[in-house]
C-alpha cells in the first residue's frame, strides 16, 4: 500500500489499537491532521482537541493510568512540543506509558532556527524513556511499533516521536511493522530469581515485625490480589506510598494507609519499629522515607523492582529482587506456604492494633477552622460516591488531604502526580480518565491554585462532552507553600496569598459547565450525589480556611518518628 | 599498574545520531563525576565504543553502569578491571624549543619515554606520546619545565586483556599473557 508518511502514521496508530489521541494541531502537523480527517468521518481514532498541550499530555497520562494501556498525545513543533514537556515529565517520574508525537520543521530547516523550531528530542531526552526523531517516512511503521513497545514494557514510561513536516508528505510502502528490536533493550520476563526468593523467605521467617511498603509498581503490574495474599500469609501490615495508594483496599484490616512526609502516624511508626521492610515497586523517594540515612536503620530490607537501576540507587538493601511485582509477590507467597507459615496472632499485630488505636482519634476528629474541614470533605466525598469511582488530584494541600483522608478501595482509582508534583495535573488527567472509563464517575480533587493552571480545558470538557466533577478546595492561597511558610518561615507569607480567585461557579458557567458553591456538609453531599451522573462537567466550589494544614507532617530531613501533629 | 581509584567503564553502543548525547545527558543529570570520556568505532559496523573513566566508590560506579544500561541504544556495558585491561591515552604537546641545548634535552626525554616528534619548527616541537595516563602526565610534567605552548589530550581508551571481548556476545575464557606496558 503506497501512502503518505502522515497516513502511515495513522495506520501505525491503528495497528497499535489506539482509539483516542489528545492534542492540538499546528503548522508542522497539518498533514497528519489532514490524514486524521478521514478517521473522524469513519468514527476511527477519536481526536480530542485540548486547549493547552500540557493538558493534552496529562489527559493521555490519565487515560494510560486508568486503563493500563498507553495514552497518546500530539503537538506541533516548537511551542506546541515544549508545552508538552511538563506532562511528559510527570509521566516519566510516575512511570506512565505515554506516547507523544510531535511535529518538527521540515528536514531542510532543522538546525537553522526556523520558525517554530525547537530541539524537542534534546529537550525531552532526560524526561523520556526514549526520544526518536524520524528522518524518512519509511521509518514510521517500525519506529511507532518500537515507541509503543518501549512505553509499555518493563518499567513503563513516556516515549517521544518527532516527525519533520516534509516526512509526512513523503510516500512510503506501508506494511504493519513486525516486532522491532532496539539496541540492547530486552523485554524481561519479570520472573524473580529463585535464589532471591529463597533469601527473602529466609528474612521473612526470621522477622518478628515485618512491614510491606507498596508503591506504584504494584498498581502498574496489576499485583493487588498478590499483594493482599502475601500480606495475609505472613501476616504483615501494608503501608503504601502516594503512588501505591489503592494497591490494597484501605479498608483491609492490614492496610495502614500512606507512609511518608504526610503519611499516617501508624504507617510511619510501623516503618520505624519494623525489623523487616518488604518494599515493592517503590523507589525510596525522599517524600516517602524522610531522612534517607536513618530510614530502615533497624530493619532488613527486601526490595522488589522491575528496574535494576532502582536497587541501591537511594538506599542499600539486603535482598534485591529484580522482577515484576506480581510475579515476585506470588513467588514469595507460594514459597512461604511451602515452607510453612507463622502464627496469625503475635506481638507485632497487637502493636499495630495499638498504633492504629492511638491515632484513631486524631483522624476521626472533625475540628475545623471556621469553614469546611478538608478531612470531613474527603470523608463526605468517599461516602457519597460509588466505590468504583476514579479520583484524580491536583498538587498541594488538596492532594495530601485526599491522600490522607480519602479511602481508596480499588487499584487505578486514585490518580495523582506523585513524582513530579505538577500543579494543574488533576483536571486534565480527570478528562483522560473519563475518556478511558466513560462508565465510571470521575472526580478531581483540586486546589484553587492548581485548578487555575489548567482550567481552560473546561472548554475541552464541555465541547467533547467529558463530564467529570472537580471539587475545588478553595482557600485563596497557595496552601502547601503557605503551610511551610507558617511552620518554617515564621508566618512570613511571601507571595502565597492569591488575594482573589475567580468566582468558580461563574467560571464553570462561562464555559458551559455547571458550577455549584457549597456552604455546608449537607450541601456538599447533595452536590456530589447530584453530580455523580451529571451530563455536563461540574465544578464544586468548597470554601476552606487558608489556615487549614495538612497534618501530621514530617518536616523535611527528619526521620519518620519526628512527626509534627499540630501547627 | 592502574591508577589508584580509577574505574573504567566500557559501553558498546549503536552508532546513530544522538547516542553520545543520551549518554552524556544521563551522566550530567544524575550528577556522576567523570574524568574522561572517549568515543570511537569498533570492529563492527555501526557499533561504537564509549570508554568512561571516573573515580568513585563501587556503589557509584555500579549505579552509573545500571543507569547507562537503561538507555536502549546501549548494547552492552561493563566495568573493566584495570589490572586486566590495556588502557591508553594520547597527548600532543607543543613545547618551546628555541635554545639548542634545551632542544637536545627534550629529545632525550622523548627517547626515554618512547614519545616522538611529529612536527618541528625553529622555535617549537610538537610531541606525540601514547601511554597510560600516569606516564603521559609524568612526561607532561617534565615538559612544563621547557615551556608548554599548548597541549591536547584524548581521554582513555581501553580493552580487556586476553581473548575476552566486551563487544561481542560470544566470549572466550582463555586469556593471553599480559606483556608489560
The answer to whether the beta carbons of residues A243 and A215 sit under 8 Å apart is yes
- The answer, for A293 touching chain B at a CB cutoff of 8 Å, is no
Q: Which residues contact B65 (CB under 8 A, 6 or more apart)?
A: B9, B77, B78, B79
Dihedral of the alpha carbons of A265, A266, A268, A274, in degrees to the nearest 10 = 160
Q: If pLDDT is split at 50, 70 and 90, which confidence band does B169 have?
A: very low
Cβ proximity of A440 and A390 under 8 Å: yes
A126 touches chain B (CB under 8 A): yes
Residue with cell 497499535: A16
Nearest CB among B18, B66, B72 relative to A184 is that of B72
Give me the pLDDT at residue B156, please: 96
- Nearest chain B residue to A155 by CA distance is B70
Residue with cell 512461604: A336
Cα B113 to its chain centre, rounded Å, is 18
Query: Per residue of chain A (567 residues), what is the pLDDT tens digit?
Result: 899 999 999 999 999 999 999 999 999 999 999 999 999 889 899 999 999 999 999 999 999 999 999 999 999 999 999 999 999 999 999 999 999 999 999 999 999 999 999 999 999 999 999 999 999 999 999 999 999 999 999 999 999 999 999 999 999 998 888 878 888 999 999 999 999 999 999 999 999 999 999 999 999 999 999 999 999 999 999 999 999 999 999 999 999 999 999 999 999 999 999 999 999 999 999 999 988 888 988 999 999 999 999 999 999 999 999 999 999 999 999 999 999 876 566 899 999 999 999 988 888 876 666 679 999 999 999 999 999 999 999 999 999 999 999 999 999 999 999 999 999 999 999 999 999 999 999 999 999 999 999 999 999 999 999 999 999 999 999 999 999 999 999 999 999 999 999 999 999 999 999 999 999 999 999 999 999 999 999 999 999 999 999 998 999 889 998 888 876
For B93-145, the pLDDT digits (tens) are: 999 999 889 999 999 999 999 999 999 999 999 999 999 999 999 999 999 99
CB pairs under 8 A between A and B: 45
Q: Tell me if chain B has a CB within 8 Å of the CB of A125.
A: yes
Catalytic residue among A53, A226, A464, A514: A53
How sure is the predictor about B175, in pLDDT bands with cuts at 50, 70 and 90? Answer: very low
How far apart, in Å, are the Cα atoms of A150 and each of A97, A338, A553?
Answer: 9, 37, 38
- Omega of the bond prior to A235 within 30 degrees of 0, cis? yes
Query: Using 50, 70 and 90 to split pLDDT, how confident is the model at B71?
Result: very high
Which residues of A are less than 8 Å from B59 in CB distance? 312, 316
Closest by Cβ to B74, choosing from A121, A150, A184: A184
Query: What is the C-alpha separation between A305 and A224, in angstroms, rounded?
Result: 15
pLDDT value at position B167?
61
Average pLDDT of chain B?
89
Cβ A136 vs Cβ A166: under 8 Å: no
pTM: 0.94
pLDDT band at B1 (very low <50, low <70, confident <90, very high): very low
A185 touches chain B (CB under 8 A): yes
Q: What does the pLDDT read at residue A368? A: 61
Locate the chain B residue with the closest alpha carbon to A186.
B72
Q: Which residue has the cell 455536563?
A: A536
For B135, the grid coordinates are 606516564
Q: Which residue(s) pair with B8 in the sheet?
A: B53, B80
Amino acid at each position: 500500500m503506497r501512502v503518505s508518511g502522515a497516513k502511515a502514521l495513522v495506520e501505525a496508530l491503528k495497528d497499535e489499537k489506539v482509539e483516542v489521541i489528545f492534542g492540538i494541531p499546528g503548522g508542522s502537523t497539518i498533514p497528519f491532521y489532514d490524514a486524521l480527517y478521514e478517521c473522524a468521518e469513519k468514527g476511527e481514532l477519536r481526536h480530542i482537541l485540548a486547549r493547552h498541550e500540557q493538558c493534552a499530555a496529562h489527559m493521555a497520562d490519565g487515560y494510560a493510568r486508568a486503563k493500563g494501556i498507553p495514552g497518546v498525545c500530539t503537538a506541533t513543533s516548537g511551542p506546541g512540543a515544549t508545552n508538552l514537556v511538563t506532562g511528559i515529565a510527570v509521566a516519566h517520574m510516575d512511570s506512565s506509558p505515554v506516547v507523544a508525537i510531535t511535529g518538527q520543521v521540515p528536514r531542510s530547516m532543522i538546525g537553522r532556527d526556523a520558525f517554530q523550531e525547537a530541539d524537542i528530542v534534546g529537550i525531552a531526552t532526560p524526561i523520556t524513556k526514549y526520544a526518536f526523531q524520524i528522518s524518512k517516512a519509511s521509518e514510521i511503521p517500525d519506529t511507532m511499533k518500537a515507541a509503543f513497545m518501549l512505553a509499555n514494557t518493563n518499567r513503563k514510561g513516556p516515549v517521544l516521536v518527532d516527525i519533520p513536516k516534509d516526512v509526512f508528505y513523503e510516500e512510503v510502502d506501508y506494511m504493519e511493522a513486525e516486532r522491532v528490536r532496539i539496541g540492547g533493550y530486552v523485554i524481561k520476563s519479570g520472573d524473580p530469581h529463585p535464589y532471591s526468593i529463597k533469601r527473602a523467605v529466609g528474612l521473612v521467617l526470621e522477622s518478628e515485625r515485618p512491614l510491606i511498603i507498596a508503591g506504584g509498581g504494584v498498581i502498574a503490574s496489576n499485583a493487588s490480589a498478590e499483594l493482599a495474599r502475601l500480606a495475609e500469609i505472613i501476616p504483615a501490615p501494608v503501608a503504601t506510598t502516594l503512588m501505591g495508594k489503592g494497591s490494597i483496599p484501605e479498608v483491609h484490616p492490614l492496610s495502614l494507609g500512606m507512609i511518608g512526609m504526610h503519611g499516617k502516624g501508624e504507617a510511619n511508626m510501623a516503618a520505624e519499629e519494623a525489623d523487616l521492610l518488604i518494599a515493592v515497586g517503590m523507589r525510596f523517594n525522599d517524600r516517602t522515607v524522610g531522612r534517607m540515612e536513618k530510614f530502615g536503620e533497624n530493619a532488613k530490607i527486601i526490595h522488589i523492582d522491575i528496574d535494576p537501576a532502582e536497587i541501591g540507587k537511594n538506599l542499600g538493601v539486603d535482598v534485591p529482587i529484580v522482577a515484576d511485582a506480581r510475579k515476585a509477590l506470588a513467588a514469595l507467597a507460594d514459597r512461604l506456604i511451602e515452607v510453612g507459615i507463622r502464627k496469625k496472632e503475635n506481638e507485632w499485630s497487637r502493636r499495630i492494633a495499638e498504633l492504629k488505636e492511638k491515632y484513631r482519634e486524631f483522624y476521626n476528629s472533625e475540628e475545623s477552622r471556621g469553614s469546611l474541614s478538608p478531612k470531613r470533605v474527603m470523608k463526605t466525598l468517599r461516602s457519597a460516591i460509588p466505590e468504583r469511582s476514579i479520583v484524580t488530584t491536583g498538587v498541594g494541600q488538596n492532594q495530601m488531604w485526599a491522600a490522607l483522608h480519602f479511602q481508596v478501595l480499588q487499584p487505578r482509582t486514585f490518580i495523582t502526580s506523585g513524582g513530579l508534583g505538577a500543579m494543574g495535573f488533576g483536571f486534565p488527567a480527570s478528562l483522560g480518565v473519563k475518556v478511558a472509563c466513560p462508565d465510571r464517575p470521575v472526580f478531581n480533587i483540586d486546589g484553587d491554585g492548581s485548578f487555575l493552571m489548567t482550567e481552560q480545558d473546561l472548554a475541552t470538557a464541555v465541547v467533547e462532552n467529558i463530564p467529570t466533577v472537580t471539587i475545588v478546595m478553595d482557600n485563596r492561597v497557595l496552601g502547601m507553600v503557605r503551610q511551610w511558610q507558617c511552620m518554617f518561615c515564621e508566618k512570613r507569607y511571601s507571595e502565597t496569598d492569591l488575594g482573589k480567585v475567580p468566582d468558580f461557579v461563574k467560571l464553570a458557567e462561562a464555559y458551559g459547565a455547571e458550577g455549584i458553591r457549597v456552604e455546608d456538609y449537607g450541601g456538599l453531599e447533595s452536590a456530589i450525589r447530584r453530580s455523580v451522573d451529571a451530563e455536563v462537567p461540574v465544578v464544586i466550589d468548597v470554601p476552606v480556611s487558608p489556615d487549614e494544614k495538612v497534618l501530621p507532617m514530617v518536616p523535611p530531613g527528619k526521620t519518620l518518628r519526628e512527626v509534627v501533629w499540630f501547627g | 599498574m592502574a591508577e589508584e581509584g580509577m574505574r573504567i567503564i566500557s559501553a558498546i553502543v549503536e552508532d546513530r545520531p544522538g547516542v553520545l548525547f543520551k549518554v552524556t545527558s544521563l551522566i550530567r543529570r544524575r550528577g556522576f563525576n567523570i574524568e574522561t570520556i572517549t568515543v570511537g568505532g569498533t570492529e563492527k559496523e555501526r557499533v561504537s565504543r564509549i570508554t568512561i573513566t571516573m573515580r568513585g566508590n563501587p556503589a557509584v560506579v555500579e549505579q552509573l553502569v545500571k543507569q547507562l544500561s537503561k538507555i536502549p541504544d546501549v548494547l552492552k556495558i561493563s566495568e573493566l578491571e584495570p589490572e586486566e585491561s590495556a588502557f591508553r591515552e594520547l597527548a600532543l604537546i607543543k613545547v618551546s624549543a628555541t635554545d639548542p641545548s634545551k632542544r637536545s634535552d627534550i629529545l632525550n626525554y622523548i627517547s626515554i619515554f618512547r614519545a616522538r616528534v611529529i612536527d618541528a619548527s625553529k622555535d617549537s616541537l610538537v610531541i606525540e606520546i601514547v601511554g597510560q595516563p600516569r606516564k603521559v602526565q609524568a612526561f607532561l610534567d617534565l615538559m612544563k619545565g621547557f615551556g608548554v605552548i599548548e597541549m591536547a589530550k584524548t581521554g582513555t581508551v581501553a580493552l580487556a586483556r586476553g581473548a575476552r571481548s566486551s563487544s561481542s556476545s560470544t566470549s572466550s575464557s582463555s586469556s593471553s599473557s599480559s606483556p608489560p606496558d
